[in-house]
Amino acid sequence: MAEIERVKCLIIGSGPAGYTAAIYAARANLSPVLYTGMEPGGQLTTTTDVENSLDYPDGIMGPQMMEDFRKQAERFGTDVRYELIAKGDFSGPVHKVWTESGQEIHADAVIIATGASARWLGLESEQRLRNNGVSACAVCDGFFFRGQEVAIVGAGDTAAEEATYLAKLCSKVHMLVRRDEMRASKIMQERVFKTQNIEIHWNTEAEEVLGEEVVNGLRVVNNVTGDKKELPVTALFVAIGHKPNTEVFEGWIHMNENKYIVTEPGCTRTNVAGVFACGDVQDDVYRQAVTAAGTGCMAALDAEKYLAEKGVI
Ligand code: NDP
């Protein structure tokens, strides 16, 4: 049995939040150990061009950006490990976690930055054309389709918000709603209804994204009549919700009804002393690299203060 490892600052997750927390924690001499999880680099590794990051005036590919973040975190001494944290016990003053291979780690401070994953429809054509016209983030990718006709699937607040966002950039937005009503709040629905260039297709589902290399259409089906039609769109935005990666923390860390971690307003503290959360795992509204990085910085500063008060550093 491997010996229990003791660390001052454990960071779980390797998106912009986790790496930014690591850069700040390493520079504060907290000797952070970072576990990347199953998808090193997080959601940005599944995108192509990122044009809204301050650090890259000419834009950057998502995977390259995350590679740069990792290198910067390592440059200051972060111990980056390519494994998953599979179990946790946050009942005592020292926080216990176990890696997938069974290594037990005791940490004085834990920064949770495990992110959230977009839900997808599950169509073969959707996965094949991801990043070539199929996207789960209108704010990230809408700009690439300005002046064009696009479609969005979903009927919650995210879909309503993204549809109105896209309507400002695109010539027309087809909104596919699978029922005869929307789940979105009334005010968001009103905004959608009032936007001239959004056409709502009720009781309608996406059947196939058309195109070989890039999207050049979408076949949809009316689930009441069975009627099919093709929409002449160049992009499909999937806005059917996200799933925060919080299973490991269930029962220990307070979460909202959608399983996002709840942090105290204005900081990254959770209900457990010494456990902090940053990035998309605690943010179901903004979900941007820059906002995740911002809260990652906050988490490292909060952890440093906590460790100093506890006399660990
Ligand atoms: P939701 O879970 O609220 O909505 C998901 C939507 O996707 C539903 O309309 C659902 O349809 C639809 N959907 C799910 N699966 C499929 C599928 N396979 N095919 C077609 N449609 C599908 O997720 P959101 O991301 O919209 O919102 C998450 C949370 O964040 C909510 O609590 C929301 O209120 C909140 N939020 C708040 C915002 C704000 O206040 N500004 C902005 C964005 C989000 P159906 O209704 O039929 O189940």
Q: pLDDT value at position 43?
A: 86
Please tell me the distance from the alpha carbon of residue 22 to that of residue 35, in angstroms, as a whole number. 11
**Of 238, 273, 301, which one is at a domain's C-terminal end?**
238
> What total number of domains does the chain contain?
2
Are residues 108 and 61 part of one domain?
yes
| Structure confidence at residue 250 as a pLDDT band (50, 70, 90) | very high
- Range scoring the smallest mean pLDDT among 39-53, 149-163, 231-245, 276-290: 39-53
Are residues 107 and 21 part of one domain?
yes
| Mean pLDDT of the region 281-301 | 96
Please tell me the residue having the least CA distance from ligand 1 atom 46: 183
pTM across the whole model = 0.83
Are residues 286 and 229 part of one domain?
no
Provide the CATH number for the domain around residue 87: 3.50.50.60
Please tell me the residue having the least CA distance from ligand 1 atom 36: 157
Are residues 252 and 187 part of one domain?
no
Q: pLDDT value at position 52?
A: 87
Please tell me the residue having the least CA distance from ligand 1 atom 5: 240
Cα(81) to ligand 1 centroid in Å equals: 34
Please tell me the residue having the least CA distance from ligand 1 atom 39: 157
Query: Which residues form the catalytic set?
Result: 137, 140-141
Are residues 128 and 234 part of one domain?
yes
Pocket test for ligand 1, best of 183, 188, 238 (most atoms within 8 A of CB): 183
Pocket test for ligand 1, best of 181, 240, 262, 286 (most atoms within 8 A of CB): 240
Cα(301) to ligand 1 centroid in Å equals: 33
**Of 238, 266, 286, which one is at a domain's C-terminal end?**
238
Question: Which residues have C-beta within 8 Å of that of residue 236, sequence separation ≥ 6?
Answer: 126, 129, 133, 134, 135, 150, 151, 152, 153, 206, 209, 215, 218
Are residues 279 and 194 part of one domain?
no
Please tell me the residue having the least CA distance from ligand 1 atom 18: 121
| Mean pLDDT of the region 26-53 | 90
Are residues 297 and 229 part of one domain?
no
Cα(121) to ligand 1 centroid in Å equals: 13
Report the pocket of ligand 1 as residue ranges, CB < 6 Å. 121, 153-159, 161, 178-179, 183, 205, 240-242, 258, 284-285
What percent of the chain has pLDDT above 70?
A: 100
Atom of ligand 1 nearest to the CA of 160: 26
pLDDT score of 38 more than 90: no
Are residues 101 and 9 part of one domain?
yes
Cα(294) to ligand 1 centroid in Å equals: 25
Range of the domain at 214: 124-238
Q: pLDDT value at position 51?
A: 86
Pocket test for ligand 1, best of 121, 178, 257, 262 (most atoms within 8 A of CB): 178
Are residues 269 and 304 part of one domain?
yes
Are residues 281 and 265 part of one domain?
yes
Are residues 60 and 149 part of one domain?
no
**Of 189, 207, 238, which one is at a domain's C-terminal end?**
238
Cα(182) to ligand 1 centroid in Å equals: 9
Q: pLDDT value at position 1?
A: 59
Closest CA to 62 of 1, 135, 5, 121: 135
Are residues 194 and 56 part of one domain?
no
